[in-house]
Structure 1
Amino acid sequence: MSPFDFLPVLAQHGPAVEGAGSWPLLIFYLCLAIGFSFLCSVAEAVLLSVTPSYIAQLRDREARGAETLTRLKKNVDRPLAAILSLNTIAHTFGAAGVGAEAAAIFGDAYVAAISAILTLMILVLSEIIPKTIGATYWRALAPTMGTFVSWLIWAMYPLVLLSDGLAKLISPQGTHGVVTREEIAAMATLGAQSGNLEKSESRIFANLLRFRELTVADVMTPRTVVIAFPQDLTAEELFERNPEIPVSRLPIYKDKLDEVTGFVHRNDLLLARARGEGGKRLSEFRRDLTTVRDEATLTELSDLLLGGGSHIAAVTDRFGGLDGVVTLEDLIETLLGLEIVDEHDAAPDMQKLARRKWEQRAKRLGIVLPDDAPARAAAAPGKPTVEDSSARQSSPEDSLAEDALVEP
């Protein structure tokens, strides 16, 4: 209820003498009530509209008001208490003054009508309009309103302390300003709907937030389709038995696949063969192979691969046996929601099949796919986007040497 609803009561505190009031005083009290309430409403709307990301941008630019806004948003109860205190005081004193002057000027018979008019004025002029302005132009008004609210907290400090004490009794600590992962995902979706974000950007946000839920086992290439070779095999023997190797990085093992010793890069073998060094064994081209547990999250996997500058890792189970391999390509596919098809994939039909199979797995894992995913699966493949760096068999038609067959 507005303080102006009490104008009839205030007008009865003394005998009203019609025409004895002062128009300047009436206007002064009216401007006092509406003016301060207008400022308070704008400040409240701006304060509640300012986002943590905007404040972070101001801090990065060392812009004016950044530290003030940070302090105000950190404990939003204090500025709100100061704003509402001034708003209430302005309404109360303004109502008292307007009520007394209106009764003196117009007489008691018109007080009810004046009360209704002033209540409507304060609703429109000090609530609806200023809060709309604050919510719409909060970016431009934030630094100025931050300074205003800081001074207001100082002026209303006793009331702010009282409000602080009551707030601590009612509201538990640590519950203000917490943005959840679900809210971030929702904001990304809203950003795409409003046009501020591309659909692909929104999809990447949503998939990135699932990285700590998905495990390496969800995206790895299982050992049953891993292309691996004995380390005692020579480079020449490898290419004689497998003239077209569909992958770039090839795990090598000692006696059995569970004894993986590292990996070799196809380009190193081709270069050695061109130099007449095809008789060298694969172990002489060995590079260290990072290992990761199958239960590790994709967040941990990305830290491992990117932090160590690795493109491929061997996935082990809890007993230390090889479960499969995982690559940066698998991470990128999960992040983008797209299957990356390489130029070495055997045939267009197999590429379409690979896309369909990947999309089925992505939907099962909850990975967000582009709207045209079915069309992508049906269409002929275009120019490859990323070089294939995985040690997986792209097609069951690929020719592999007996030594390269993986144990079941």
Structure 2
Amino acid sequence: MTLLIVYLFLALGISFLCSILEAVLLSVPPSYLENRAQQGSRLAEQLREIKKNISSPLAAILSLNTIAHTIGAAGVGAQATLVFGEAWFGIISAILTLLILVVSEIIPKTIGASWNRQLSIPLVPVIRFIIFVMYPLVWLSNLVTSLITSGKHTVTLSRDEMAAMANIGKKEGVLGEDESKTIYNLLRLRNIPVSSIMTPRTVLISLPENMQLREFLQKLNDIPVSRILLWKNEPDNITGYFLKSEALEALARDQHHKKLLDLKRELMIVYEGLPVMNLHQKMLAARDHIALVVDEYGGVAGVVTLEDIFETMTGMEILDETDVHTDLQQLARELWKKRNPPVRE
């Protein structure tokens, strides 16, 4: 009877532990281990390295689990026959199967998956010990696995999965709606062309570069933007831009005769198909707030600002400190309609 109990606990106990280890190993998020490792946890670093070659710990755990099941089931069956007789063999086998299913599979794997963060760090030494003990089988498993995978690298987390995680974080209350939206938009930036966020050429606000400040002062109320484009000879020949604040400072110094050309700044030029992410990096590197967008033929397609990029990231309208309208692109379209009223039949 004693051997029967020993074999039973051997089969269920070791299998219970192996099932918890397997569930924890497969369900603990890499992001959690990365965070704990950055906080200085050496065990988290070790588990992170173990998960990089997941076949080794899985081979060790599953091999030990299979051995425990096999020896335990054989031992329980043999001892049950001696103690209760062959007539009870079928019943004992059915009970053992049910116990293995519930006690060593369903319950421990549920515990491991539900408490993976809490259990992962304390169980690292156990996982390493099992890998060491089962090393011959682990080596054989790695050999077979390498032949199957042929050294292919598996991506742990794709961009689509990160976007889905942001949405899940919002639903579970971990992230706010604005935070989730910002993360989602950031992941889309490299797929969005500049042409999708720019202010089109037909609604741009621009002035001739030879205009004097006294003339500009008369138009001041009709110009709601803080960075104004300059053109030479014709409106499509954009040569640069100037800051409205600098023009007002010059007017305050009674420099009414001064031309806008004297306030002109260089304007970055970008292709309309450039991804927004690349544009963001270029503008930050150059410390520019505005860029002229050109089409494939070099013609003016529109203008894009750093505010447009941030609005795309956050999904919110961002205003310059001197802007007075909420949607400058919409305002520009309204001004264009005023300048070009529809023809009545």
After TM superposition, the score normalised by the length of structure 1 is 0.77
Contact 2:283 2:306 in 1 (8 A): yes
Question: Once the two structures are superposed, what CA deviation does each residue of 1:269-320 show, in whole Å capped at 9, x if it has no partner?
Answer: 1111112123222122222222211110111111122232222111112333
Paired residue for 1:231? Answer: 209
SS in 2 for 1:264: strand
SS in 2 for 1:209: helix
Contact 2:202 2:336 in 1 (8 A): no
Structure holding more helix per residue: 2
Report the residue type matching 2:334 in the other structure.
S
Paired residue for 2:334? Answer: 395
SS in 1 for 2:230: strand
Correspondent of 1:43 among 21, 33, 36? 21
Alpha-carbon separation, structure 1, partners of 2:217 and 2:37 = 58
Report the Cα offset of residue 392 of structure 1. 7.2
Deviates more, 1:87-96 or 1:167-176: 167-176
Paired residue for 1:253? Answer: 231
Paired residue for 1:309? Answer: 287
Report the residue type matching 2:324 in the other structure.
H
Correspondent of 1:105 among 65, 72, 83? 83
Report the residue type matching 1:68 in the other structure.
Q
SS in 2 for 1:58: helix
CA RMSD for the aligned pairs?
A: 2.3
Correspondent of 2:273 among 295, 308, 319? 295
SS in 1 for 2:189: coil
Question: Once the two structures are superposed, what CA deviation does each residue of 1:358-408 show, in whole Å capped at 9, x if it has no partner?
Answer: xxxxxxxxxxxxxxxxxxxxxxxxxxxxxx6x89726327988xxxxxxxx
Paired residue for 2:324? Answer: 344
Alpha-carbon separation, structure 1, partners of 2:225 and 2:99 = 74
Report the Cα offset of residue 70 of structure 1. 1.6
Report the Cα offset of residue 148 of structure 1. 1.6
Report the Cα offset of residue 239 of structure 1. 1.4
SS in 1 for 2:123: helix
Report the Cα offset of residue 50 of structure 1. 1.4
Deviates more, 1:211-220 or 1:180-189: 180-189
Deviates more, 1:112-121 or 1:170-179: 170-179
Residue 322, structure 1, aligned to residue 300, structure 2: yes
Contact 1:246 1:393 in 2 (8 A): no
Deviates more, 1:263-272 or 1:96-105: 96-105
Correspondent of 1:142 among 116, 120, 137? 120
Paired residue for 2:343? Answer: none
Report the Cα offset of residue 244 of structure 1. 3.7
Contact 2:18 2:61 in 1 (8 A): yes
Report the residue type matching 1:204 in the other structure.
T
Alpha-carbon separation, structure 1, partners of 2:213 and 2:110 = 73
Correspondent of 1:120 among 81, 84, 98? 98
Report the residue type matching 1:246 in the other structure.
P
Aligned residues with identical type, % of pairs: 45
Deviates more, 1:172-181 or 1:40-49: 172-181
Contact 2:307 2:319 in 1 (8 A): no
Alpha-carbon separation, structure 1, partners of 2:72 and 2:83 = 16
Alpha-carbon separation, structure 1, partners of 2:62 and 2:297 = 63
Paired residue for 1:157? Answer: 135
Contact 1:298 1:331 in 2 (8 A): yes
Alpha-carbon separation, structure 1, partners of 2:58 and 2:288 = 51
SS in 1 for 2:241: strand
Contact 2:213 2:260 in 1 (8 A): yes
User: Matched residue pairs, number?
Assistant: 337
Correspondent of 2:70 among 76, 80, 92? 92
Residue 195, structure 1, aligned to residue 173, structure 2: yes
After TM superposition, the score normalised by the length of structure 2 is 0.90
Q: Where does the alignment leave 5 or more consecutive residues of structure 1 unmatched?
A: 1-22, 346-350, 355-387, 401-408
Report the Cα offset of residue 177 of structure 1. 4.3
Report the Cα offset of residue 344 of structure 1. 2.6
Report the residue type matching 2:89 in the other structure.
V
SS in 1 for 2:191: coil
Alpha-carbon separation, structure 2, partners of 1:279 and 1:154 = 85
SS in 2 for 1:284: helix
Judged with a 3 Å threshold, the aligned counterparts in structure 2 of structure 1 residues 311 and 37 are, in CA distance, closer, same or farther, namely same
Alpha-carbon separation, structure 1, partners of 2:220 and 2:45 = 64
Contact 1:293 1:318 in 2 (8 A): yes
Alpha-carbon separation, structure 2, partners of 1:176 and 1:86 = 26
Contact 2:3 2:79 in 1 (8 A): yes
Contact 1:41 1:126 in 2 (8 A): yes
Judged with a 3 Å threshold, the aligned counterparts in structure 2 of structure 1 residues 398 and 237 are, in CA distance, closer, same or farther, namely farther
Alpha-carbon separation, structure 2, partners of 1:249 and 1:161 = 66
Contact 2:34 2:45 in 1 (8 A): no
SS in 1 for 2:302: strand
Paired residue for 2:258? Answer: 280
